[in-house]
Amino acid sequence: MRIEEDIKLDFKDVLIRPKRSTLSSRREVDVSRTYEFRWSQRTYTGVPIIAANMDNVGTMAMAKTFAEMGHGKTVALHKHYDLNKLLAWYEQNGNANVWYSIGTASADQEKLDAFLKKAPQAIDKLCIDVANGYAEPFVEFVKKMRERLPDVTIMAGNVVTGEMTEQLILNGADVVKVGIGPGSVCTTRKMTGVGYPQLSAVIECADAAHGLGGLVCADGGCTVPGDLAKAFGAGADFVMLGGMLSGHEQAEAEIVEENGKKFMVFYGMSSSTAMDKHAGGVAEYRASEGKTVKVPFRGDAKNTLQDILGGLRSACTYVGATKLKELSKRTTFIRVTQQLNTVFGNE
């Protein structure tokens, strides 16, 4: 057992200090990025926001809305779509703004095998998603996928430390997904005691990834547009959103009405609700690590996305960043919470 006493911070613990700027309008800010991925050698240009691969966020309806709005935002389609529906989507809409999502279960691999047999060139972006990216079999799985799909951009996770970020990149990941427990419907920290403050995780993992020519995606913890600005300021290359995109008509989720108001059911993918729906219940060897909530129905996701992009542009104007690429270089974080240091009687 050991204790690390270095300060670790979440988004709520900091604000971004304003700096002198030559910008006169938010309109002047370019919030797109261009990347060349280390392994696939493919390039990406667009607003680096990804809808999470949850079955009430990462939907085909959300992908259609993202495509209509343009700007290169992408959706990680959830892995529970059946094979024929996925094949039809790729045939009709292409792969420009979607990631094909899988876990490491045999059923996921079998469906991917069947998909590639019928459409071998369709997938250009693959999201390999597990709750615990520290397991050696997961690292080996990423390596196997890289060997099998050398030209596909691979995003893999989740992890929260620099050394595992490096290992995943060296084993074939182009983008490493960062975050354990920060999501609004994730209870991993409560159930297991495991986690890492998200802002510090992004800073440390981005530093590790960029040294190897890899990228990171901050996954979880964003509740308001300012949190995205903090994530990008901390060095995130992409930001993945779940809760902020829940409750919209594109979520394909259950709508309930209470006292004349509409709500949508939103749940974590490790919740008992999700496991009852997709796996026949919670396995006897594990516990639910997600919760189910009702969020107010918020209509079209386009309005929320406009708010997010507006907040991001405004953040850039406050620090004088004409491009999103410049935000991390111009970000100075100011701590707004006190570090508690009363453990074991130290004051």
The answer to whether 81 and 99 are in contact (CB under 8 A) is: no
Any catalytic annotation for residue 186? yes
Question: What does the alpha-carbon distance between residue 220 and residue 217 come to, in Å, rounded to a whole number?
Answer: 10
Nearest alpha carbon to residue 246 among 185, 288, 190: 185
Quote the CA–CA distance of 182 and 204 in Å, as a whole number.
16
Tell me the C-alpha to C-alpha distance, in Å, between residue 183 and each of 90, 243, 268, 270: 29, 7, 8, 11
Q: Which of 74, 188, 304, 331 is catalytic?
A: 188
192 part of the active site:
no
SS3 label, residue 209: helix
- Parallel, antiparallel or unpaired: strands 215-219 and 333-335: unpaired
Catalytic residue among 59, 127, 153, 186: 186
What is the set of active-site residues? 186, 188
